[in-house]
Structure 1
Amino acid sequence: MKKLKLGIIGSGIAVKELHLPALRTLDTLYEVKAISSRNMDHAISLANECGSDVVAFDDPSKMKDIDVVDIAIPVNLNYDMIKIAFEKGWDVICEKPIAENTQSARKILELHEKYPQRILYIAESHRHDPAIKIIKDHLSEIGEVAFFDYKLVLPTKDSKYAKTEWRKHPAHVGGFLSDGGVHHVAFLNAIFGKYLSVGGFAKQISDFTDAYDTMIMSIKYENGFGTYSVTYAPNYGENEFSIYGSLGTLKMKNSKVTVVKDDNIKEYPVPPANFFAEEFKDFYNCVVKRQKPVLGDPYLAFTDLEMIEKVIK
């Protein structure tokens, strides 16, 4: 099995705590060869952690002897890094959101059209959630969909992510609402398909970022409609996803999907999965087989961002 030589652009939390642990489980697929960061000390430290033969750079264009790059940096820098990678002949896996707003995202899509031979995979980890298949497999059991309700309360104030400067003073639209929200709408879109229209409200009730932190989105799909509600401000609350149908209900909560029809209750546990390992495996197959990404399709990533931007604007 061919190993892909990987260069990593970025040295922040996502790389250290999400990407590298996943890549260590895939050492038959990838070999980390280079780390690039604007902070050379950070690049050197991370390169040393990865192995004695991993080279540190403060300029990604200087990286050598690699096949693919993993981009995990402040989202407003994605375009420039993807452009460097394409010019160097590297395939790209890039952390979500695809860009800081849809205007920049369109530029990335246009750039990709100029390099059709390159693979561009937007790493939307939640499309690899095994709950999606369980829900879709049992959705017909509750009859015609009346509406859905996706409610998330995500305490963020004391999280390490909220303390990063680029998230405290975000250049990306809506701050956490797009940074985290693309996960949630990607999950919904994977279940219901392409959205027809969105509307909603957003506001800020916290004091730890310069952006909105609370949103209610109404979404219409071809086969139903419903609401996605999220807040990053409170420090308490429950998360639940419910679909109400003509014959019963389907709910997901605490890693379990429950289907209720009359007095009949069926429960399906959602198996644990490393979403990040799954996306890196999928990216590997796309690169080796020279196939366009499906779960990492940049046009899907554009749609995820577009939905949130429409509500915020």
Structure 2
Amino acid sequence: MSYKVCVVGTGIFATDAHLPALKASKYFTPYSCFNRTKEKAEVFAKNADIKIIYDDMEDAFKDPEVNLVDALLPVQFNLSAVKLAVKYKKNICVEKPIAADLEQAAQIVKLSKENPDLIIAVNEHWCYFKAVDALKEAVSKIGNVYSFTYSSTGQFNFANKYLSTSWRRQPKHIGGFLSDGGVHQLALLTGVLGQIRKVNAHTKRVRELSGTDDILYSLVEMESGVIGTFTYGSAFGNTDKSCIFKILGDNGSVFLDFSPKHPEKLTLRVGGLTAETKSYEMDIPIEDEYRTPSKEFDVLGEAIKTGDKSGIIATPEVAFHHLAIIDAALKSSSKGGDTVVVAKP
């Protein structure tokens, strides 16, 4: 069975990423669309071979033929979209970060809990990375984990097609680039090591085009007691894009290099617990990583088919935590790096 999808918000990401994934999906068929600028919806509909274009967003939720609303809106409108989904009992996935701020995000979490019969998910494909499971397996071999280093830094991209959009020039979501891209990084970090308890951070603004602070350096403590550093920013001058995640235990270490243009792999080093502990090292490649929304749609399709939502990792609760970490970092920076406890919904 193919489920019918309405794409609400037919902008760049809908065209470049979601439409190809939907066309290739074994579960879904692009069925209808809406955009507040109808001309953009008409262009999208032509590319998607869609016959139905709504004049009002609410019509997408009213349509009894629609099985899933794929809402790719500026995130300050996610709460309104979720409220419509609840009103008309419609499954929905919304773009990350979950909302513009924690107040809106908490309302989405509440609506999700109050409506367990509906799928309310967040489009956060990093939650489904193969690297998450590979890292967890590797970490299980290095004894007690004590610390980590997570860093993703790079050069500012003046050719970024999203720079011309109003939601990017004047971000309504807290942190701008820091939350928009940072939640990806935090999906990977927390997917492996669990939730973050508290943050000490400093943020700065490098580029006027970013709209707000765009680099983040922080010390964090996990709920487990593990300590580490989280660094994120792609606003610098000429430099390589560097993405690394290193986890240190009392019987070894795990190192993931997921920098662009390098073969994606993790290196497991075991040993060092005692002078007699046997040591070894091995590389584990991460092949065909899920860097498109395709895996997300597989998970959503299976959930609709079976009624079992347990495979959905990017729930509102999980996405709330990712945004709450950015919120805590921004608050910490505004207080000169003071410790801030990460909020819960």
Answer whether TM exceeds 0.5 for this pair: yes
Q: Does the Cα contact within 8 Å between 2:147 and 2:248 map onto a contact in 1?
A: yes
- Shift in Å at residue 287 of structure 1? 1.9
- Shift in Å at residue 223 of structure 1? 5.1
Q: Does the Cα contact within 8 Å between 2:27 and 2:297 map onto a contact in 1?
A: no
Comparing 163-172 with 194-203, greater Cα deviation is found at 194-203
Give the structure 2 partner of residue 245 of structure 1: 249
Give the structure 1 partner of residue 187 of structure 2: 186
Q: 2:281 aligns with which of 255, 265, 288?
A: 265
Alignment of 1:62-73 (within 5 A): 62-63=59-60, 64=63, 65-73=65-73
- Partner of 1:182: helix, strand, or coil? helix
Alpha-carbon separation, structure 2, partners of 1:162 and 1:242: 31
- Partner of 2:36: helix, strand, or coil? coil
Aligned-pair RMSD on alpha carbons? 1.7
- Partner of 2:178: helix, strand, or coil? helix
- Partner of 1:250: helix, strand, or coil? strand
- Shift in Å at residue 144 of structure 1? 2.0
Which runs of no fewer than 5 residues in structure 1 stay unpaired? none
Q: Does the Cα contact within 8 Å between 1:43 and 1:58 map onto a contact in 2?
A: no
Give the structure 1 partner of residue 299 of structure 2: 282
Give the structure 2 partner of residue 229 of structure 1: 231
- Shift in Å at residue 10 of structure 1? 0.7
Q: Does the Cα contact within 8 Å between 2:96 and 2:123 map onto a contact in 1?
A: yes
- Partner of 2:168: helix, strand, or coil? helix
- Establish whether residue 205 from structure 1 lines up as the match of residue 194 from structure 2: no
CA 1:290–1:196: 2 relative to 1, 3 Å: same
Paired residue type of 2:178: L
Comparing 296-305 with 77-86, greater Cα deviation is found at 77-86
Paired residue type of 1:90: K
- Shift in Å at residue 166 of structure 1? 0.6
Alpha-carbon separation, structure 2, partners of 1:119 and 1:239: 32
Give the structure 2 partner of residue 21 of structure 1: 20
Comparing 104-113 with 168-177, greater Cα deviation is found at 104-113
Paired residue type of 2:4: K
Alpha-carbon separation, structure 2, partners of 1:77 and 1:297: 18
CA 1:58–1:225: 2 relative to 1, 3 Å: farther
Paired residue type of 2:253: T
Q: Does the Cα contact within 8 Å between 2:127 and 2:187 map onto a contact in 1?
A: yes
Alpha-carbon separation, structure 2, partners of 1:95 and 1:285: 20
Alpha-carbon separation, structure 2, partners of 1:272 and 1:305: 27
Alpha-carbon separation, structure 1, partners of 2:228 and 2:117: 39
Alpha-carbon separation, structure 1, partners of 2:201 and 2:57: 40
Q: Does the Cα contact within 8 Å between 1:9 and 1:71 map onto a contact in 2?
A: yes
Q: Does the Cα contact within 8 Å between 1:258 and 1:266 map onto a contact in 2?
A: yes
- Shift in Å at residue 276 of structure 1? 0.9
- Establish whether residue 49 from structure 1 lines up as the match of residue 47 from structure 2: yes
Alignment of 1:73-92 (within 5 A): 73-92=73-92
Alpha-carbon separation, structure 2, partners of 1:118 and 1:209: 36
Alpha-carbon separation, structure 2, partners of 1:69 and 1:246: 47
- Partner of 1:89: helix, strand, or coil? coil
- Partner of 1:229: helix, strand, or coil? strand
Alpha-carbon separation, structure 1, partners of 2:270 and 2:86: 52
Alpha-carbon separation, structure 2, partners of 1:150 and 1:287: 35
Which runs of no fewer than 5 residues in structure 2 stay unpaired? 272-278, 332-345
Alpha-carbon separation, structure 2, partners of 1:290 and 1:55: 27
- Establish whether residue 122 from structure 1 lines up as the match of residue 122 from structure 2: yes
Q: Does the Cα contact within 8 Å between 2:217 and 2:229 map onto a contact in 1?
A: yes
Q: Does the Cα contact within 8 Å between 2:217 and 2:231 map onto a contact in 1?
A: yes
Q: Does the Cα contact within 8 Å between 2:8 and 2:34 map onto a contact in 1?
A: yes
Paired residue type of 2:162: Y
Alpha-carbon separation, structure 2, partners of 1:77 and 1:229: 28
Paired residue type of 2:221: K
Alpha-carbon separation, structure 2, partners of 1:30 and 1:42: 22
Report how many aligned residue pairs link the two structures: 310
- Shift in Å at residue 146 of structure 1? 2.5
Alpha-carbon separation, structure 2, partners of 1:133 and 1:152: 20
Comparing 184-193 with 293-302, greater Cα deviation is found at 293-302
